[in-house]
Amino acid sequence: MTRKRVRRAGGRAAQVGVKRRRRGPAGLGAGPGATRVTLALALALGACVDGAPVSPGDLTRVVVAPAFSLLAAASLDLSSLDRVVVRVVRPPSLVLAEASAAIPPGKEPIVVDLTVELSGSRERLRIEAELWAGATLAFSGSRTESVSVADEVRAFNVDLERRIPELTLSQGRLEFEGQAGAQDPEPRGFEVENEGPGSLSWSASPDVEWIEVSPDHGFVPEGEKQRVSVGVRSRDLPPGSHRGQVVVEAPGVLGAPASVEVDLTLEEPRVETFGLRVDGEGDGVGSVTSTPEGIDCTVDRGDVSGRCEADFPDGTALTLTAAATAGHSFGGWSGDCAGAGSCALTIDADRRVAAAFSAPAPELLVEPTALAFTAEQGRNPDPPEGTFTVTNAGGGSLDWTADTELPWAELSPTDGSLEGGRSSTVRVRVRSEGLPSGTHSGVVSVRAGETLAEVRVTLEVLAAPELSVVTDTVRFAAIPGNNPAPDTAAIVIENVGGGTLEWRAKVGGAWLTLRTENGSLEGGARGTVVLIVRSDDLSPGTYREEVEITAGDAGRAVVPLVLVVAAAASFIPGGQP
């Protein structure tokens, strides 16, 4: 077997095998030199590697000799080819034989036998081959060879030239990502290429409504390409994955139709938010609330507290309402709102408003309006200090002063400034040293502008306590055996001064004790010191003792006591008081 291989860029090749058949006398064309030759034609789609044909995909070598074989480059899409036509022509144009066969999918060769009658033992014949895609001639070519009945097996190639454009796309898939309900993703694209002769007329159409194509048709000359932009309309699509495709049609063209897959992934929408801030103005008190909820702000003389800042979704229609505290008034809005009514806002950007509240006029309030102190003459320390409160019961700012003409009273502080609702405490201290006993009084004057308030201050100075003993002597008389029970007697004492007198009494004899050893007396009050005498164990005679009564600085007194114990027959007139 002899074999010739011919490769041409962009072309196709066919191999033809020649098998000799000799006819007997009864056969067609009998006679000297008449020979009938059958050409076995085998068609296989594949590629050439180093001049040898191989099948596409797995590059498995295809043995084609001694047959006719069509070879195709692996990079081309030949799926649209459906028919092969082969004819044998005696030059210049006499067709000796013609046959066609369908091209099934797959890689199996197609065998077509053509039988021709040679005019002699050797003849030059032209082998013509065509590949069709429907009614369109896609490839064609021919080769003239000398065919002889002496050749047992012979193979040769026929080059086929492409006759129509071939459609290819630069991308097979486009992927988009975005956010549901947000701006559409940036467009992407692909290129329509014409790898064949002539101009390629194409049109593109998406299979879903949310894909847009621009341009949607065009013409591409041989070897040229055209850019196609693909966009997606995602605003009305739900979150998740979406898929469609763009189909490119090109009638009568190899590789058509072709498609580009379009994948769109949409995330859950991210809601954009904007901030709203409320500030305060003025010297009043009030509040600001919002509908829908979010703002609940207290304004106090320009200061704010509570929820005075909040974020709201883009496009929120919001109303702010201002309410003044009792006695105060709302003065109106500033910033992104105006007027003195409700504030209606659309939150499509960061917003800021200020609410102004006005306070009532300052009002002086002093309480209590009287303070009373008590001191004992000559005693230290002075009585505890007293206090009164100065309050601005109105609004605005209240400036106040306090003073007194009382020489024994001191004030602290003596002035101040109060905003509405605020208070200040004034301490009052009195000094009783050097004051006579009795009641001393006067006023503390508190002034705020033209307003005057007074606090009456009274100091009661009590006289110093003074001990006085009303009973000057105590006498007892007793007869042994006649007084089984103890005798008692009382010493009367009195606080002839003021304040409180603290007294204490003591005795020294064994036969004399005290029932009460101490006590206290308020000014002008009397009390008793009770004595107990036990005389049973005493011998007749006269016994003397003293009772000492002390009251600190208030005085000291000693009261003598006389006990006469008589014999049993004696009688002592007036022996017992």
Q: Which class for 465: exposed (0-12), middle (13-18), buried (19 or more C-beta within 10 A)?
A: buried
Q: Is the pLDDT of residue 251 over 60?
A: yes
Question: What is the band of 131 on the pLDDT scale with cuts at 50, 70, 90?
Answer: confident
Q: What is the mean pLDDT of residues 273-285?
A: 92
**Residues near 212 by beta carbon (within 8 Å), at least 6 away in sequence:** 187, 206, 230, 231, 232, 233
> 225 near 167, Cβ under 8 Å?
no
Residues across the chain = 577
When pLDDT is averaged across residues 469-481 and rounded to a whole number, the result is 81
CA end-to-end distance (rounded Å), the chain: 180
DSSP 263-301: EEEEEPP---EEEEEEEEESS-EEEEEEESS--EEEEET
What element of type H or E holds 490? strand 487-495
pLDDT at residue 447, as a whole number: 96
Q: What is the pTM of this model?
A: 0.40
**CATH class entry, domain 467-565:** mainly beta
pLDDT recorded at residue 410: 94
Chain-wide mean pLDDT for the chain? 80
78 dihedral zone (left: phi>0; alpha: psi -120 to 50; beta): alpha
Least confident span in 39-43, 127-131, 330-334, 400-404: 39-43
pLDDT tens sequence across 383-426: 899 999 999 988 778 999 999 999 999 999 999 999 878 999 99
> Which pLDDT does position 109 carry in this prediction?
61
Q: Is the pLDDT of residue 324 over 50?
A: yes
Q: Which residues of 338-363 are buried (b: 16+ CB within 10 A; e: fewer)?
A: eeeeebebebeeebebbbbbbbbebb
Contacts of residue 540, defined as CB under 8 A and 6 or more positions apart, other chains included, come to 480, 565, 566, 567, 570
Fold of 2-162: Immunoglobulin-like (2.60.40)
| Mean pLDDT score, 181-197 | 91
Query: Rounded to the nearest 10 degrees, how much is the dihedral formed by the CA atoms of 337, 340, 341, 346?
Result: 0
With a pLDDT cut of 70, the percent of the chain lying above it is: 80
For the cut 80, the answer to whether the pLDDT of residue 76 exceeds it is no
Determine the pLDDT at residue 214: 95
What share of the chain in percent tops pLDDT 90? 41
Domains 2-162 and 167-267 share a fold: yes
Residue 142 in this model has a pLDDT that exceeds 70:
yes
Cβ atoms of residues 412 and 390 within 8 Å: no
- Residue range 364-462 forms a domain whose CATH class is mainly beta
Per-residue confidence band for 357, with pLDDT thresholds at 50, 70 and 90: very high
Q: Which comes out higher in pLDDT, residue 471 or 481?
A: 471
pLDDT band at 85 (very low <50, low <70, confident <90, very high): confident
- Concatenate the DSSP letters of all residues of 335-365 into one string: ES--SSS-EEEEESS-EEEEEEEEPPPP-EE
Contacts of 537 (CB under 8 A, 6+ apart): 511
Determine the average pLDDT of the residues in 310-317.
93
Its sign, for the CA torsion 340, 341, 342, 343, is negative
C-alpha to C-alpha distance for 204 and 249, rounded to whole angstroms? 6
Q: Is the pLDDT of residue 170 over 90?
A: yes
Distance, C-alpha 229 to centroid of its chain: 39
SS3 for 543-567, per residue?
Answer: EEEEEEEECHHHCEEEEEEEEEECC
User: How many CB atoms within 10 Å of residue 123?
Assistant: 20
pLDDT at 247 over 90: yes
Q: Where are the domains of the chain?
A: 2-162, 167-267, 273-358, 364-462, 467-565
Name the one residue in this structure whose structure tokens are 């009568």.
Answer: 252
pLDDT at residue number 472: 83
CATH topology of domain 167-267: Immunoglobulin-like (2.60.40)
Is the pLDDT assigned to residue 173 strictly greater than 90? yes
What secondary structure letter does DSSP report for 499? S
Fill in the DSSP letter of residue 539.
P
Find the range with the poorest average confidence among 93-107, 203-217, 254-268, 352-366.
93-107
Alpha-carbon distance 297 to 353, whole Å? Answer: 12
Tell me the C-alpha distance between 403 and 524, whole Å: 37
Tracing tokens 């797959």 back to the chain, one arrives at 106
DSSP state of 254: B
Statement: residue 571 has pLDDT above 80: no
Range from 14-18, 75-79, 150-154, 473-477 carrying the lowest mean pLDDT: 14-18
Q: Encode pLDDT of 56-70 as tens digits.
A: 333 222 222 223 444
Sheet with 303-307: strands ordered across: 303-307, 296-300, 285-291, 316-324, 343-347
Given a contact cutoff of 8 angstroms between Cβ atoms, the answer to whether 31 and 22 are in contact is no
What residues contact 310, with CB distance under 8 A and at least 6 apart?
275, 276, 290, 294, 295
Residue among 273, 287, 356, 280 nearest 320 (CA): 287
Instruction: Answer yes or no: is pLDDT of 33 > 50.
Output: no
